[in-house]
Each structure stands twice: as C-alpha cells, then as structure tokens.
Amino acid sequence: MTRLDEVRAALSERADRADLVPSSPAHAYHRARLDAAGAAARTRERPRRAALAVAVAAAALVAIVVGTLALLELGDENGSVVITEPVDPSPDGAPADRDDGRFPDEDPDDGIVPDESGEPDRIEPPEPGTSADPAPGTETVESVLTTTTAGPVPPPATCSADARPDRAGPGDQARRPSMGGVLAVMSSAFDSQSGVVVSVVAGQDIDDQTWILDVCTNTWSRGSPPPLAVAYHGPVVYDVDSDLVVVLPSFADISRAASYDADTDTWTTGSALPDGALPLTGALYDPVSGLIVTGGSSSWFAYDVEVDRWDAVAIGSLDNGLEPEAGLSSGVLLAHITDRDLFVLWGEPMTTVDVRTGEATQHDVDTPELVYGWPPPPLVYTQDDAGLGIIHTLGGGELHGFDPVTLDWVRLSESDSGPGAAGTRGFDDLVHDPINDRIVAIGGVVRSGGEWTEIDDTWAFDPDARVWTLLVEASP
C-alpha cells in the first residue's frame, strides 16, 4: 500500500463513519430550517430593539431632567429629599435588560454572569431574600413557574418483600427496545409511582414502540405503541404530580406532545410546540411548579400536561443561545438542584439558571473528553432526599459522575466493567431507578473490532458500591 493509499483509506474511514451513525436527512433539514427561521427572527428583531433603545434612552433623559427639577422643588415636611427604589420601566413587565437594544453578545452586562475567577469552587446556595423576597420598589416577572404550585406527590412504588431486584431477570423474556439498526431514537423515563422504566423507541422506518421494565423483577414487556406524532420525539420526562410519562415534541411543525399512563397502558396525544419554537433538547420536571420545563439552546417553555398548555419561560439572558461548540450534548436541560432551586443546563460552559428570575450563570468546567465523545452519551441526574445530586454519564462505556454543586468530576467505573465490557458503547440510555437506588443502563450499540453492533442488555449501577449488575442478558 502506498502512502497515498494510506491517506485515502484514512480519509475514507472517517467519511464511512457517517454510515454508522443514524441520521435522517428530513429530520436534519427540518431542524436546520427551524434554527434558520429563529436566526432570521432574531435578525429582524435587532433594528426594533435598537429603535426601542433610542426611545428608552430619550425617555430616561426626560425623566432625569424632570426628576431633577422636581427634586429641586420638592422635599418632605422636614425638608429632606425622598428617593424611592427604581421600578422596572418596561411596559410589558419584562426584565428591563430585555429591550435595551443590544444583544447579549454585544454587552458584557447581559444577564449571563461570567465566571470571573475562572475556577469557581462550588455553586453557592442563594442568598436569603434574593429571588423569593424582591427588594422594595422592584417588580418581579410573573412567570408561570412562580405562579403555579405542584400538586401532592403520592408515595413511590416499592418492591414486594419477596422480590429480588438484584437478580437478573428471566433469560427467555422479550428483550428491551430494539433500535432496529435504523434511524430511531430511544428515550426513557422512570415512572416512580408504577415502579417501571418507560422506554419509547421511535424514528423513521420502524414501528414505534413502548417498552416497560419492571425494576422489581427486571422484566421487559411491550406497551401499546405511541402515536405517530412522537415519531420525531424530543425529551421524555416523568411528570410526578400528574403521574404521566410525557414525550415532548422535537419540532414545532412535525411532532406533538404525548403522554403515557403506565397504569392503564394508554397514550394521549397533546398539542404541538408553539410556532417558531426551536427544537427541544432537554426537559425536567420542576418540583416547585409541578410543570415540565423544557427548552433548547435558546427558547424555553413550561408544559402543563394536565391541560395541554405551553407557556414561554423568559430566560432573557439566554435568548442569544449558548456557545455552539460543545456538540450535541450542549444546551441539554439536565438537572434541578433542589436546595438551590437552580436548573443545570449542560454544555461547555455549563450554565445554571434560576428559572424564577431568569438569571443565568456560566461555569467554566473542564469536562472529560469521553463525556463529549462520539456518539454523544446519555446523561441522568440522581438526587437524594437531602438534595445532594450527581449527574451521571456513560461515555464510551465508562461511567462518570459530575457534582453540579462542587463542579467536580469523578470516574465511577472503568470501560471494561458493566456495559462497557462488550466494547465502546453508544446510543444507549440511562435512567435513575429511585426504588432500588441505582442507575439503569439500557442497550444501545457497541463497537468492537471496528464494527458497531446493536445490543439489548440492561445493567444497573450501584452508586454506593460502584458496582455494575447485569439485569437482563443480551439476546443470544
């Protein structure tokens, strides 16, 4: 083989990887078209904001002149001047910095608080009286996330006394969702009141599937198929106070929300995303409002599954989007740190967001290379009753943990143990099983000997003992 042949082979090998990663041209087109529409809308918005800024500046100048004249003439009965706290001047109640005529990237004071030190030690709890107790004279934005309260949460399911969830399930059971080696996506959530993992497998050219894993018997079974509206689905999340697994749409014009009731094995189709919404890349149940908070890299919504309603969530400081370089894992709404009431937006830099106030803070975190590997690994957040949580991610078969408070990474398992033993793994899914306090890793594909092969095994990771246990063997 000549040197040129070697170069040609190496370049071809890189191009051939495109065939190993499922991708739908139509899906890619629509995703790009929506992002292009969003970019165009922001461009159209720019002159309007500039004009508004001029108007606001002129009004402010007039106010200063008038106020100064008034102060010269007026005082209280003791002759001293009374100065009140400023009130948000925007007529629609939006934060004042939203319509200042500048885009966030043009102004360092854009609401995203940069990490000046470069290496923050940890995310500190909120100061008393910051968000819940606004300063006198100021007005807060009435977000649906502050005006809605979660309903009562029934106790989670438990396994029966004779159950052995640590034992592998039956060897002859129907296997967990098959991706079919085609353009499908698997997304899962844990229904804590039914004690089951619900996995939705949907995509192009396959029969969309619902699979249920009983975590007490480690047995998969098939549920009724999801509606076609979720074929191009986005995130899947369990709505705790509604006791429904909610499948969110990915695109405004081709998919809709749907919810699955594991108790009755029934699907209900909901509405589409509001017009102009960008693809959603992550979703979380907000235990404060009881709503599902979801968003992409720039537009966020609250979804109320019980009344099938979308409400825009004003994250003003993020409306210019995140840095795009972090790959597919960036911009994923990932975790809610309960004791700080902060949402973690995955990416590089990682961002924490106070959705009640819209304040965002970016944290410069050095992330292990495998976590941003190829293909993008799944992410799951676990949190104990005390609010201590870890973001887990299975990159290439290695399990890594990230503490979103201390901003520390730790490798929890090596690539030759558990699901990593079969080879470098991708397109798998992770779910937290709170009943057995473990992380469930579901299937995917493994690369061994240069080939990608679908695998339908199921594993559990004990975060205390840091040990993997095989729950369901792969098909022979």
Partner 1 sequence: MRETVKLSTRDEQRVTEAYPAVRRFAFAVADSDVDPDDLLHEALVRVLSRGRIDEIDDLEAYLRRAVANVASNTRRRLGRRRRALGRLRAMSTREVADGPDATMVGSELMRLSAADRAALYLRVVEGRPHGEVAEVMGVSEEAARARVSRALRRMRVEMELEGVES
In the complex, which residues of this chain contact partner 1 (CB under 8 A)? 2-4, 6-19, 21, 23, 25-26, 28-33, 35-36, 39-40, 227-229, 231, 254-255, 269, 324-328, 348, 366-370, 372-374, 376, 396, 415, 423-424, 447-448, 450
Tokens of 134: 């606004």
Q: What is the DSSP letter of 298?
A: S
Report in angstroms how near the CB of residue 443 gets to partner 1 at its nearest: 18
Cα separation values, 421 from 47, 428, 460, Å: 56, 14, 14
Report in angstroms how near the CB of residue 104 gets to partner 1 at its nearest: 17
- Find all residues with CB under 8 Å of 96, minimum gap 6, and list them: 88, 89, 90
Radius of gyration (Cα) for the chain, nearest Å? 25
Nearer Cβ to partner 1 (12/84): 12
Q: Omega into 375 within 30° of 0, i.e. cis?
A: yes
Report in angstroms how near the CB of residue 332 gets to partner 1 at its nearest: 13
Report in angstroms how near the CB of residue 376 gets to partner 1 at its nearest: 7
Measure the CA–CA gap between 432 and 415, rounded to whole angstroms: 20
Measure the CA–CA gap between 272 and 258, rounded to whole angstroms: 9
Q: Are strands 350-354 and 219-223 parallel, antiparallel or unpaired?
A: unpaired
The helix (H) or strand (E) run that includes residue 470 is: strand 467-472
Nearer Cβ to partner 1 (23/149): 23
Report in angstroms how near the CB of residue 476 gets to partner 1 at its nearest: 24
Can you tell me which residue has the tokens 């190496």? 10
Phi, psi of 383 (to 5 degrees): -145, 135
Nearer Cβ to partner 1 (186/216): 186
Report in angstroms how near the CB of residue 379 gets to partner 1 at its nearest: 15
Residue 440's DSSP bridge partners are 431, 460
What is the residue type of 192?
S
Report in angstroms how near the CB of residue 237 gets to partner 1 at its nearest: 22
Report in angstroms how near the CB of residue 210 gets to partner 1 at its nearest: 15
Nearer Cβ to partner 1 (31/340): 31
Nearer Cβ to partner 1 (265/323): 323
Helix%, strand%, coil% for the chain, nearest 5 = 20, 35, 45
Closest listed residue to residue 323, CA positions, set 344, 343, 346 = 346
Measure the CA–CA gap between 391 and 371, rounded to whole angstroms: 11
Report in angstroms how near the CB of residue 164 gets to partner 1 at its nearest: 34
Measure the CA–CA gap between 369 and 243, rounded to whole angstroms: 37
Nearer Cβ to partner 1 (200/342): 200
Nearer Cβ to partner 1 (5/92): 5
What is the residue type of 4?
L
Nearer Cβ to partner 1 (19/172): 19
Nearer Cβ to partner 1 (22/316): 22
